[in-house]
Structure 1
Amino acid sequence: MTVILDRPYSFVPPHRGNLWPSAIQSFRLIEWHLRKREAVVDYELRHADRFADSLAAGLGILLAPNHCRYADPIVLGWLAREVGTHLFAMASWHLFNTNSFEAFALRRMGAFSVNREGNDRQAIETAIDILVTAERPLVLFPEGTTNRTNDLMKPLLEGVSFIARTAAKKRQKANGGKVVMHPVGLKYLCVGDAWKWADDKLRELELELSWQPRQTGTDPQMILQRLYRVSEAYLALKEIEHVGKASAGDLRPRRDQLIQFLLARSEGRYGLATLPEACVRERVRKVRSAVAAAYFAPDPETGKPVDRNPDEYLADSSAADLAQFLLSFPDQYLTPGQITDTRIFETIQRIQEAIYGEAKETMPMKVVIEVDEAIEVPTQRGPRGEPDPLLCRLGDRLGTMIESLSREARDFEHPDTVTPNQ
Structure 2
Amino acid sequence: MQKIIIDRPYRFVPPHRGNRIPAFLEAIRAIDWYLYWFEGIHTYELRNVERLRTSLRAQRSIILAPNHCRYADPIAMGWLARAAGVYLFTVASWHLFNQNWLQSLAIRLCGGFSIYREGADKQSLDTAVEILVQASRPLVIFPEGTVYHTNDRLHPLLEGVSFVARTATRRRQKAGGTPVLIHPVAIKYVYRGDLQSALEPEVLEIERRLSWEDHFAGRDLLERILRVGEALFSLREIEYTGATHCGQLSARQQALIERLLAPLENHYLRRTWPDQPVIHRIKQLRAKIVPLWREARGAARVEYWNQIRATYVAQIIDAYDEAYLQRPTQTRVLETLERLQEDLTDKAPVHRPLHCIIEVGEAIEAPPDRLPRDQPDPVMEQLTTALQGMLDQLAAESPAWPTSYQQAMEALRQESADILDRSGG
Q: TM-score, normalised by structure 1?
A: 0.90
CA distance in 1, matches of 2:205, 2:20: 44
1:410 and 2:399 are equivalent in the alignment: yes
Identify the residue that residue 418 of structure 2 maps to in structure 1.
Answer: none
Worse-matched range after superposition: 355-364 or 98-107? 355-364
Say how many residue pairs are matched.
402
Q: Aligned-pair distance for 1:381?
A: 4.7
Aligned partners of 1:381 and 1:389 also within 8 Å: no
For 1:266 and 1:3, the matched residues in 2 are separated by 19
Match of 1:111 in 2: 112
Instruction: For residue 345 of structure 1, report the CA deviation from its aligned partner.
Output: 0.2
1:382, 1:389 within 8 Å by CA — same for their partners in 2?
A: no
Q: Distance in 1 between matches of 2:371 and 2:285?
A: 31
Amino acid at match of 1:109: C
Do the aligned partners of 2:162 and 2:371 also contact (CA within 8 Å) in 1?
A: no
Residue from 268, 282, 290 that aligns with 1:292 = 290
Pairing 1:59–2:23 present: no
Closer, same or farther: CA 277–366 of 1 in aligned 2, 3 Å: same
Q: Does 1:78 align with 2:79?
A: yes
Shift of 1:259: 1.3
The correspondence of residues 29-48 of structure 1 with structure 2, limited to 5 A, is 29-48=30-49
Three-state SS of the structure 1 residue aligned to 2:397 is coil
Superposed structure 1 runs of 4+ greater than 6 Å apart: none
Amino acid of the structure 2 residue aligned with 1:7 = R
SS of residue in 2 equivalent to 1:148: coil
8 Å CA contact 1:61–1:180 kept in 2: the answer is yes
Which residue does the alignment assign to 1:353?
342
8 Å CA contact 1:194, 1:363 repeated in 2: no
Contact 2:163 2:371 in 1 (8 A): no
Pairing partner for 1:363 from 324, 335, 352: 352
Matched AA of 1:346: E
Aligned-pair CA distance for 1:374 = 1.8
**Cα distance in structure 2, aligned partners of 1:382 and 1:92:** 23
Is the contact made by 1:381 and 1:388 (CA closer than 8 Å) also made in structure 2? no
Structure 2 match to 1:227: 225
Which residue pairs with 2:13 in the alignment? 12
SS of equivalent to 1:407? helix
- 2:99 maps to which residue? 98
What's 1:203 paired with?
204
Secondary structure at the residue paired with 1:295?
A: helix
Q: Distance in 1 between matches of 2:349 and 2:270?
A: 37
Residue 379 of structure 1, aligned match among 365, 368, 380: 368
1:343 to 324, 329, 332: 332
Task: Trace 1:97-176 onto structure 2 (pairs within 5 A).
Answer: 97-176=98-177
- The answer for the alignment partner of 1:49 in structure 2 is 50
1:2 positional shift: 6.5
What one-letter code is carried by the residue in structure 2 that aligns with 1:56?
R
Q: Distance in 1 between matches of 2:208 and 2:396?
A: 33
Q: TM-score, normalised by structure 2?
A: 0.90
Q: What secondary structure, in the 3-state scheme, does the structure 2 residue paired with 1:53 have?
A: helix
Matches within 5 A, 1:270-289: 270=268, 272-289=270-287
CA distance in 1, matches of 2:83, 2:53: 9
Distance 1:373 1:85 in 2: 18
CA distance in 2, matches of 1:383, 1:262: 31
Check whether the contact 2:52–2:84 (CA below 8 A) recurs between aligned residues.
yes
Shift of 1:119: 1.7
User: What does residue 193 of structure 2 align with?
Assistant: 192
**How far apart in 1 are the matches of 2:239 and 2:371?**
47
Q: How far did 1:369 drift?
A: 0.3
Query: Could you say what the CA RMSD is over the residues aligned between the two structures, in angstroms?
Result: 2.0
The residue that corresponds to 1:302 in the other structure is none
Structure 1 residues 310-319 or 178-187, which shifts more? Answer: 310-319
The answer as to whether partners of 2:234 and 2:244 remain within 8 angstroms in 1 is yes
Instruction: Please say if residues 42 and 352 of structure 2, whose CA atoms lie closer than 8 Å, have aligned partners that are also in contact.
Output: no
Cα distance, 1:308 vs. partner? 5.6
1:324 maps to: 315
8 A Cα contact 1:2 1:321, kept in partner: no
| Amino acid corresponding to residue 365 of structure 2 in structure 1 | E
Residue 315 (structure 1) aligned to one of 303, 306, 315: 306
- Amino acid across the alignment from 1:284: I
Q: 1:395 aligns with which of 384, 390, 402?
A: 384
Contact 1:87 1:139 in 2 (8 A): yes
Contact 2:66 2:185 in 1 (8 A): yes
Residues 231-281 of structure 1 show CA distances to partners (whole Å, capped at 9, x for unaligned) of 111012222222223333432222222211111343355464222254422
Tell me the distance in 2 between the aligned counterparts of 1:226 and 1:213: 11
Conservation of the 8 A alpha-carbon contact between 2:93 and 2:116: yes
**Structure 1 residue 314: deviation in Å?**
2.1
| Whole-Å separation in 2 of the counterparts to 1:5 and 1:96 | 10
Distance in 1, Cα, partners of 2:387 & 2:28: 32
1:96 and 1:106 in contact (8 A); partners too: yes
CA separation of 1:294/1:381 partners in 2, compared to 1, >3 Å: closer, same or farther? same
Distance 1:325 1:382, change over 3 A: closer
CA contact (8 A) 2:7 2:294 kept: no
Q: Is the 8 A contact 1:70 1:146 kept in 2?
A: yes
